[in-house]
């Protein structure tokens, strides 16, 4: 099959770049075509089913466990998934949105929200990351069209400027505190379905969540987390950041560019 679209440039407009700069998220339609999405849906789903070890019934899990099945760095488990995360097309968009010279991989993850799966609470990703600045972008790649009923990603546009709530891990506390905080602000709450081939990009400090999956189908999403290729490791500020340092940036030194074997430059 022809997957050349993975490496075909997709020039962004000045309007798109300015939108991202202001809101720290953007949704872009037709980033990938249907045959490519459908093919990698099958490949990634097969790998998730192979590696998933969660056997606890959905109703007996906590909020985080009900939110999704989560498997990470699948590119190290499968050569075809490695080809997918190596897409210069998606990496170039991430680089252009951040206006940096290039990007490297932080890590990938599959986020499969089961039928009947619960909400993904409000949170900011960078709470978990020992990174020295906010030059980070997560590409949220649905492996199927996602209607509202399936729990698409929701954003609080421009909320990256809020300091309160940054110190909260994802969970019931973050959902309640951040929801209350956002209720008294003017940040627009954006919740929209995703078309097939549509991808969203968001920065590490913008607050986001997802609703429950009230359909009878699995909501299948694959994410690629990019960072500036010159990103420096900072001294971790919590146990989660220590864990991320050891897991996703092994061997990296505090105050130095993160250039470990599992953080390859993906663009240019």
* pLDDT given at position 163: 78
User: What does the domain layout of the chain look like in residue ranges?
Assistant: 4-267
233 within 8 A of 254, measured Cβ to Cβ: yes
* pLDDT given at position 60: 67
* 267 pLDDT higher than 70: yes
Token pair belonging to 38: 């459908």
Looking at residues 10-32, what average pLDDT do you find? 97
pLDDT digits (tens, 9 = 90+) for 92-112: 999 999 999 999 999 999 999
Q: How far is Cα 119 from Cα 260, in angstroms, rounded to an integer?
A: 34
Band the pLDDT of 189: cuts 50, 70, 90. very high
94 within 8 A of 114, measured Cβ to Cβ: no
pLDDT digits (tens, 9 = 90+) for 41-93: 999 999 999 998 776 676 666 766 656 689 999 999 999 999 999 999 999 99
* pLDDT given at position 141: 98
Helical segments of 31-71, H only: 34-51, 63-67
User: How is domain 4-267 classified at the architecture level of CATH?
Assistant: Sandwich (2.60)
* 247 pLDDT higher than 70: yes
CB burial readout 196-213, b (16+ within 10 A) else e:
bbbbbbbbbbbbbbbbbb
Band the pLDDT of 171: cuts 50, 70, 90. confident
CA distances from 38 to 43, 45, 81, 144, 218 (A): 9, 10, 13, 8, 15
Query: What is the percent of the chain with per-residue pLDDT over 90, rounded to a whole number?
Result: 80
> Half-sphere exposure of 212 toward its Cβ, with a 13 Å CA cutoff?
10
Band the pLDDT of 230: cuts 50, 70, 90. very high
* pLDDT given at position 67: 60
* pLDDT given at position 58: 63
Looking at residues 10-34, what average pLDDT do you find? 97
Q: How far is Cα 165 from Cα 167, in angstroms, rounded to an integer?
A: 5
Q: Shortest CA distance to 149 belongs to which of 65, 216, 208?
A: 216
Query: What is the percent of the chain with per-residue pLDDT over 70, rounded to a whole number?
Result: 95
User: Which of helix, strand or coil describes residue 201?
Assistant: strand
* pLDDT given at position 181: 77
First to last CA, the chain: 25
143 within 8 A of 44, measured Cβ to Cβ: yes
Looking at residues 10-35, what average pLDDT do you find? 97
């Amino acid at each position: 099959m022809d997957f050349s679209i993975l490496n075909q440039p997709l020039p962004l407009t000045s309007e798109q770049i300015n939108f991202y700069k202001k809101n720290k998220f953007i949704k872009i339609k037709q980033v990938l075509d249907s045959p490519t999405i459908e093919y990698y849906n099958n490949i990634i789903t097969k790998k998730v089913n192979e590696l998933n070890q969660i056997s606890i019934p959905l109703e007996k899990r906590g909020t985080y466990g009900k939110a999704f099945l989560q498997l990470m760095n699948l590119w190290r488990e499968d050569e075809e998934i490695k080809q997918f995360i190596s897409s210069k097309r998606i990496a170039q968009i991430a680089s252009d949105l951040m206006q940096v010279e290039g990007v490297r991989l932080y890590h990938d993850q599959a986020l499969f929200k089961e039928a009947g799966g619960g909400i993904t609470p409000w949170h900011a990703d960078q709470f978990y990351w020992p990174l020295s600045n906010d030059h980070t972008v997560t590409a949220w790649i649905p492996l199927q069209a996602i209607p509202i009923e399936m729990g698409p990603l929701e954003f609080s546009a421009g909320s990256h400027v809020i300091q309160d709530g940054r110190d909260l891990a994802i969970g019931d506390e973050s959902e309640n505190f951040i929801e209350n905080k956002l209720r008294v602000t003017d940040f627009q709450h954006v919740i929209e379905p995703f078309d097939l081939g549509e991808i969203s990009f968001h920065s590490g400090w913008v607050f986001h969540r997802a609703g429950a999956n009230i359909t009878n189908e699995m909501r299948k999403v694959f994410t690629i987390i990019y960072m500036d290729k010159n990103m420096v490791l900072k001294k971790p500020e919590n146990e989660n950041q220590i864990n991320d340092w050891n897991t996703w940036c092994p061997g990296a030194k505090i105050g130095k560019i993160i250039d470990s074997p599992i953080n390859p430059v993906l663009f240019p």
